[in-house]
């Protein structure tokens, strides 16, 4: 049989009492589960934390059942989150314990974690944690300027200004591909000599070694 629950106000409204009369009101007690664990908020939000800074939240673990919860293990998985190695081992009915959790962001941006509490036959409970690492204003401006300077160094090549004459050759090596018989002459190969500087280049002498000659 399904019980229908109504408020006390609705009951007296639908069942008015006449003068000098009384009426019995049926009451039921809502049963509690034998085991149950909760925290004030399903999502523990640490907010914006400057990189290098630390925030600690005192997390209240509440036993809402009518039997003690024996904690066998508590784990915390997430970058930047930590808790004491010595955690509460038992939570009695209708009582709570405090578990301090520390968040120190290791990088810029959002960081999430899962708090997992294993109470054996009392069940396994998981709660979400969320925080965000941010830069302080000085660091943000410094990082922006450093990035801009690095970009400019990669993008802008300084102009090389010559302060004197600079000899430049069209080729640094040459290969004669045809065979040349004795007492004969090969085809002429031309080298180009240039002055890449901004001052006159004076050539006092040209010489060559081996079985080669400079054609006048």
- pLDDT value for 178: 64
pLDDT tens-place string over residues 168-212:
776 666 666 666 666 667 677 776 878 777 778 777 777 777 666
Decide yes or no: CATH 3.40.50.2300 for domain 37-136: no
- pLDDT value for 18: 62
pLDDT tens-place string over residues 76-125:
999 999 999 998 899 999 999 999 999 999 998 999 999 999 999 999 99
Domain ranges in the chain are 37-136
The tokens for 141 are: 């401006």
**Residue 1 confidence (pLDDT) above 50:** no
Cβ atoms of residues 133 and 109 within 8 Å: yes
Comparing 65-79, 127-141, 149-163, which segment has the lowest mean pLDDT?
Answer: 149-163
- pLDDT value for 3: 47
Average pLDDT over residues 147-159: 64
pTM of the model: 0.50
- pLDDT value for 131: 95
Average pLDDT over residues 157-176: 66
Comparing 51-60, 110-119, 148-157, 163-172, which segment has the lowest mean pLDDT?
Answer: 148-157
């Amino acid at each position: 049989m399904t019980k229908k629950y109504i408020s006390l106000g609705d009951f007296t409204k639908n069942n008015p009492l006449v003068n000098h009369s009384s009426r019995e009101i049926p009451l039921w007690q809502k049963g509690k589960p034998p085991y149950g664990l909760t925290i004030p908020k399903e999502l523990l939000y640490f907010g914006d934390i400057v990189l290098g800074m630390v925030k600690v939240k005192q997390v209240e673990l509440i036993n809402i059942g009518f039997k003690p919860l024996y904690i066998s293990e508590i784990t915390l998985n997430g970058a930047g989150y930590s808790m004491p190695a010595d955690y509460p081992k038992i939570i009695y009915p209708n009582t709570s314990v405090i578990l301090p959790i520390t968040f120190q962001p290791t990088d810029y941006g959002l960081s999430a974690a899962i708090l997992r509490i294993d109470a054996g036959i009392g069940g396994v409970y998981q709660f979400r944690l969320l925080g965000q690492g941010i830069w302080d204003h000085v660091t943000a401006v410094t990082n922006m300027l450093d990035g801009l300077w690095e970009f400019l160094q990669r993008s802008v090549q300084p102009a090389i200004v010559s302060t004197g004459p600079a000899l430049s050759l069209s080729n640094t090596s040459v290969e004669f591909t045809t065979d040349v018989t004795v007492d004969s002459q090969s085809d002429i190969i031309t080298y180009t000599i240039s002055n890449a500087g901004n001052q006159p280049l004076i050539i006092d002498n040209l010489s060559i070694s081996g079985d080669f000659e400079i054609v006048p």
